[in-house]
């Protein structure tokens, strides 16, 4: 389906949980955030209904995200449900990979095609500081497991302050080259100020070519990461919420009051 600016909307990002086992400094306050009450979190059946409806409207690409998608119980089952939807030719996941060594093989068997993995530094102490206690080794094991399971191509998401020329980013770039993984560099965004940038090596941040909708774990379809517009699938039904989001998708992102990347995913 095309939006009013002629952009073809064929990509749905689904946040399956607002919870995360890491506390990245640019994403979450140290004390964490108020959790979405469990009864507001969409069930797998509700997520499936949105995905099936979106596929019927022309969505061909689905990415599972969060929060951290691997902390949602039953995630492998959800992947299996989504993988069977006719018309979905790309089923991917964004993950911090801390639990990926446990899940990679089952996710691949269930129909997940590929993963994007967050990796901001290869220095264990820097990684622990950025993630407030994360263990780099668990991520590296997760990356190995994803490769073995054939969740390819693996893409690494590296958040940078300004550019890919920073020392940690350069190390991640070298690691990517060595292992044959694409690396995308994402400059730290600021929601209140509406500051976002084109992702180096990726497609994000470029409003004229944006093809995305986002479904948050509490059932809101967000037409734009940098807008407060959102349409509830529980109130409107999946079809109407998706159509409204496409119709109302802003030409470009701007300042917004929320900071729901942690609930909606990047
Ligand atoms: N937990 C999963 C992961 O780590 O990939 C998925 C969700 S995470 C919020 C998605 C991406 O958003 C990550 O690559 C993360 O680094 C990025 N991110 C979060 N807050 C950001 C910010 N303020 N600026 C830039 N990137 C951000």
Among 25, 229, 21, smallest CA distance to 127 is for 25
Compute φ and ψ for 82, nearest 5 degrees.
-70, -35
3-state per-residue secondary structure call for 74-100? CHHHHHHHHHCCCCCCEEEEEECCCCH
Q: From ligand 1's centre to the CA of 54, what distance in Å?
A: 24
- The candidate with the shortest Cα–Cα distance to 95, out of 117, 78, 75, 113, is 117
Q: Are 190 and 225 in contact (CB under 8 A)?
A: no
What's the token pair of residue 19? 């919870």
pLDDT band, very low/low/confident/very high, at 39 (cuts 50, 70, 90): very high
Please check the confidence at residue 46 and state whether its pLDDT lies above 70: yes
Residue 258 has pLDDT above 70, yes or no: yes
Mean pLDDT for all residues in the chain: 95
Atom of ligand 1 nearest to the CA of 262: 9
Whether residue 266 is predicted with pLDDT greater than 80 in this model: the reply is no
Rounded to an integer, the average pLDDT of 31-47 is: 92
Label the pairing between strands 90-95 and 61-65. parallel
Does position 257 have pLDDT exceeding 90, yes or no? no
Q: Quick check: CB of 66 below 6 Å from ligand 1?
A: yes
Task: Please write the tens of the pLDDT for every residue from 140-188.
Answer: 999 999 999 999 999 999 999 999 999 999 999 999 999 999 999 999 9
Per the CB < 8 A criterion, the answer to whether 189 and 195 are in contact is yes
Sheet containing 114-118: order of strands: 182-187, 155-160, 114-118, 90-95, 61-65, 11-15, 212-215, 220-222, 231-232
The protein residue whose alpha carbon is closest to atom 1 in ligand 1 is 68
Q: Is the pLDDT of residue 261 over 90?
A: no
Q: Is the CB of 266 under 6 A from ligand 1?
A: yes
Nearest residue (by CA) to ligand 1, atom 5, is 95
Return phi, psi of residue 175, to 5°.
-60, -45
User: Which atom of ligand 1 sits closest to the CA of residue 96?
Assistant: 4
Q: How far is the CA of 201 from the centre of ligand 1 (A)?
A: 16
Strand partners of residue 63 = 13, 92
The residue whose CB lies within 8 Å of the most ligand 1 atoms, and thus the one to mutate among 127, 151, 262, 266, is 266
Ligand 1 proximity of 139 Cβ (cutoff 6 Å): no
CA of 27 to the centre of ligand 1 (A): 7
Find out whether the beta carbon of 20 lies less than 6 Å from any atom of ligand 1.
yes
Taking only the tens place, the pLDDT of each residue in 52-105 is: 999 999 999 999 999 999 999 999 999 999 999 999 999 999 999 999 999 999
The whole-angstrom separation of Cα 241 and Cα 221 is 6
The pTM of the full predicted model, rounded to 2 decimals, is 0.97
Residue nearest atom 26 of ligand 1, based on CA coordinates: 188
Note the pLDDT tens digit of each residue in 160-171. Answer: 999 999 999 999
Q: How far is the CA of 266 from the centre of ligand 1 (A)?
A: 5
For residue 29, give both structure tokens.
């306050």
Residue 264 pLDDT exceeds 70: no
Is the CB–ligand 1 distance for residue 262 below 6 Å?
Answer: yes
Residue 116 CB-density burial (10 A; 0-12 exposed, 13-18 middle, 19+ buried): buried
């Amino acid at each position: 389906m095309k939006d009013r600016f002629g952009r073809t909307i064929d990509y749905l990002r689904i946040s399956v949980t607002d919870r995360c086992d890491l506390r990245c400094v640019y994403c979450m306050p140290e004390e964490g955030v108020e959790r979405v009450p469990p009864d507001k979190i969409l069930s797998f059946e509700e997520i499936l209904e949105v995905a099936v409806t979106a596929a019927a409207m022309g969505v061909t690409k689905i990415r599972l995200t969060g929060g951290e998608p691997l902390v949602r119980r039953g995630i492998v089952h959800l992947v299996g449900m989504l993988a069977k939807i006719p018309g979905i030719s790309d089923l991917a996941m964004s993950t911090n990979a801390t639990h990926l060594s446990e899940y990679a093989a089952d996710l691949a068997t269930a129909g997940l095609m590929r993963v994007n993995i967050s990796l901001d530094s290869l220095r264990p102490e820097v990684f622990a500081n950025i993630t407030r206690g994360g263990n780099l080794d668990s991520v590296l094991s997760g990356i190995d497991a994803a490769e073995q399971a054939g969740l390819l191509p693996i893409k690494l998401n590296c958040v940078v302050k300004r550019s890919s020329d920073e020392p940690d980013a350069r190390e991640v770039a070298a690691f990517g080259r060595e292992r044959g993984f694409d690396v995308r560099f994402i400059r730290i965004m600021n929601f209140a100020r509406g500051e976002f940038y084109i992702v180096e090596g990726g497609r994000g941040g470029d409003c004229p070519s944006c093809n995305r909708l986002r479904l948050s774990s509490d059932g809101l379809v967000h037409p734009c990461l940098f807008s407060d517009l959102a349409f509830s699938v529980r109130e409107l039904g999946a079809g109407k919420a998706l159509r409204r989001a496409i119709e109302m998708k802003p030409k470009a992102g701007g300042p917004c009051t929320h900071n729901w990347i942690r609930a909606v995913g990047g």
